[in-house]
Amino acid sequence: MGSFAARTVMLFALGLSTLGATAPSSDFTHLIERMRAAAGPVWNTHFVSVSRLNLAGETAIVSSESSGLPFVVRRCEGELCEGTYFDGTRLYSVNMNDTALPRSSDPEPYLRSLRLTASLTFLSPAFPNHGGNLIDDGMTTFAGKRYHTLLVADAQAIPIRLYVDPLDALVHFARDLGGDDTFEYLDYRHVDGFTVPYEIRHNGGILERYDDRTPVASAFRPPRGPIPAFSGSAAQAVPTDPDHVTPIVNGTIGGVPVRCLIDTGNSGLSMSSELAARLGASVIGTFRVRGLGDYSTQVVRAGPLLVGNATFPDAYYVVLNDVSRYGYDVVLGADFVGPAGVEIDAGAHTVKLGAPQTASAITLPLSFENFVPVVNVHLGTVDAQLAVDTGDESNINLSYGFYSKHSSLFAVTEKRLVSGVGGTSVELMGNIPQVTIGSYRTGPQKIGTTQTLNGTAFGHLGAAFLRQFIVQFDYAAGELHLTPRS
């Protein structure tokens, strides 16, 4: 889709350059005015909706919010919700604490085209001012009926053809220029001065059916996760426990003193079952934990969380049955690192929240798998996508499946028993002559593979490897900044 999208947009832009000097006809201008009057200013209105969405043959009841191109869709079980967010360019995953991380650094031009249609953004008087293109494509017959067709696109969207009924001035079909995908808009209803469809079909099958669509006066707010409030300036140093390779800090939850592991390998927030009992935290729902083992557990709501001079609001915590023995009661993952940004200096035994980027740092792009940051690393001559996992004490820890395919990476010189969330396993250890990350090339490094690791990507870069650097995580920008230590 990526190369097709780029080629189509380029060809469409060339076509527009030859048509740009031609003023729209009075009939076309009148049609656009009728369309605006018929639907109402949907493009600048915040809608809150409930619908039944059909995906992969399954129907889910979802709640959604939209305002122009951006929208967020959440699927809930009781109070706990997860979903997706589209900011107009990229698609994000949203977890139970409303932290949103990009699924990819690549834009979504086709989804943007569909949002141009669904939000009627192309009807906004400001659409041409932001690079939008709207062209009269004449009359045509489709599905046995006459329609006025329009071509709609902008520099970031794939051109799409819309079919407007000249009688009601509403969009009834949208099709990509190749005709492979057809979206039909049905069951138009009048809602508080707007006219919007309540049923959407894709290639003849029902894609979405709304139970309710309500325009609201409040502003649309994108998901951001638990945003900390700072007492004084940000970037104040918080000491970590010098006796641990992994970053462990002191804090409080609900006024109760706790020790916290900052773990970028955790998709949210977690606490021990002992702490949950001590806090008297109410059970909100359930969650499935996967680490060295696999088990179902509870989710509780607790807070506020205080670390250093940063206070995080109440949030949902997954209850872990087996973490107290490691010397901490709270695990701070994506919901802690993502909203604030974190700097970890293992050499100085400090952590800073909201620290500015170091100008001389090596900057690497991050992708995210299940809210865990992943970076590209060269293991000798082999490329590997590895999770950056501050909660893993290892140096480099490969999944056993990846090592089985690349067993020449290192010879096993020792075996050791390891334990973690959900169980124990055996780690096979050895050495690798060279590792390259960004522009930084290391000498020999310890490397291993864990036989039953349900990890992210092809393995982990652990805390022992990361202590070679001052490490800055900027989830919002999708970047990892490394400053090598002397």
Beta bridge partners of 230: 310
* Domain-embedded: residue 430: yes
Q: How far is it between the farthest Cα atoms of the chain?
A: 80
Domain's final residue, options 153, 185, 216: 216
* Domain-embedded: residue 142: yes
Helix segments in 198-245, DSSP class H: none
Q: How confident is the model at residue 422 (pLDDT cuts 50, 70, 90)?
A: low
Q: What per-residue confidence (pLDDT) applies to 279?
A: 96
**Contact between 397 and 245 (Cβ < 8 Å):** no
- Taking residues 77-97, what's their average pLDDT? 95
Q: What per-residue confidence (pLDDT) applies to 436?
A: 96
Question: Per-residue pLDDT for 423 more than 80?
Answer: no
Helix segments in 20-59, DSSP class H: 26-39
The DSSP code for 108 is -
Please indicate, yes or no, whether residues 444 and 319 belong to a single structural domain of this protein: no
Question: Per-residue pLDDT for 440 more than 90?
Answer: yes
Q: What per-residue confidence (pLDDT) applies to 221?
A: 95
* Domain-embedded: residue 224: no
Q: What per-residue confidence (pLDDT) applies to 17?
A: 40
Q: Which domain holds residue 247?
A: 229-353
Cβ neighbours, 10 Å, residue 429? 17
Please indicate, yes or no, whether residues 80 and 30 belong to a single structural domain of this protein: yes
Please indicate, yes or no, whether residues 42 and 160 belong to a single structural domain of this protein: yes
pLDDT in tens, 345-354: 999 999 999 8
CA distance 240 to 66: 42
Low-confidence winner among 236-245, 279-288, 337-346 (lowest mean pLDDT)? 279-288
**How many structural domains comprise the chain?**
3
Please indicate, yes or no, whether residues 43 and 127 belong to a single structural domain of this protein: yes
pLDDT in tens, 110-138: 999 999 999 999 999 999 988 899 999 99
Q: What per-residue confidence (pLDDT) applies to 292?
A: 52
Q: How many helices (H) and strands (E) does the chain have?
A: 7, 39
Question: Per-residue pLDDT for 16 more than 80?
Answer: no
Q: What per-residue confidence (pLDDT) applies to 451?
A: 74
3-state secondary structure of 10: helix
Higher pLDDT, 457 or 46: 46
10 to 4, 5, 122, 387: CA distances (angstroms): 10, 9, 19, 36
CA distance 127 to 155: 12
pLDDT mean across residues, the chain: 90
Question: Per-residue pLDDT for 419 more than 50?
Answer: yes
CA distance 55 to 207: 7
CATH number of the domain that residue 475 is part of:
2.40.70.10
Question: Per-residue pLDDT for 57 more than 50?
Answer: yes
Please indicate, yes or no, whether residues 45 and 174 belong to a single structural domain of this protein: yes
Beta bridge partners of 164: 148, 171
Low-confidence winner among 102-116, 180-194, 217-231, 443-457 (lowest mean pLDDT)? 443-457
Q: What per-residue confidence (pLDDT) applies to 13?
A: 43
- Taking residues 298-302, what's their average pLDDT? 95
**Contact between 437 and 375 (Cβ < 8 Å):** yes
Q: What per-residue confidence (pLDDT) applies to 286?
A: 85
Higher pLDDT, 443 or 169: 169
Six-digit token pair at 399? 């999944």
Please indicate, yes or no, whether residues 17 and 129 belong to a single structural domain of this protein: yes
Question: Per-residue pLDDT for 288 more than 80?
Answer: no
Q: What per-residue confidence (pLDDT) applies to 219?
A: 96
pLDDT in tens, 148-181: 999 999 999 999 999 999 999 999 999 999 888 9
Q: What per-residue confidence (pLDDT) applies to 365?
A: 94
**Residue 257 falls in which region: left (phi positive, over 0), alpha (psi -120 to 50) or beta:** beta
Domain's final residue, options 304, 319, 353: 353
- Taking residues 373-379, what's their average pLDDT? 96
CA distance 120 to 66: 12
- Taking residues 384-404, what's their average pLDDT? 93
- Taking residues 23-28, what's their average pLDDT? 81
Please indicate, yes or no, whether residues 201 and 237 belong to a single structural domain of this protein: no
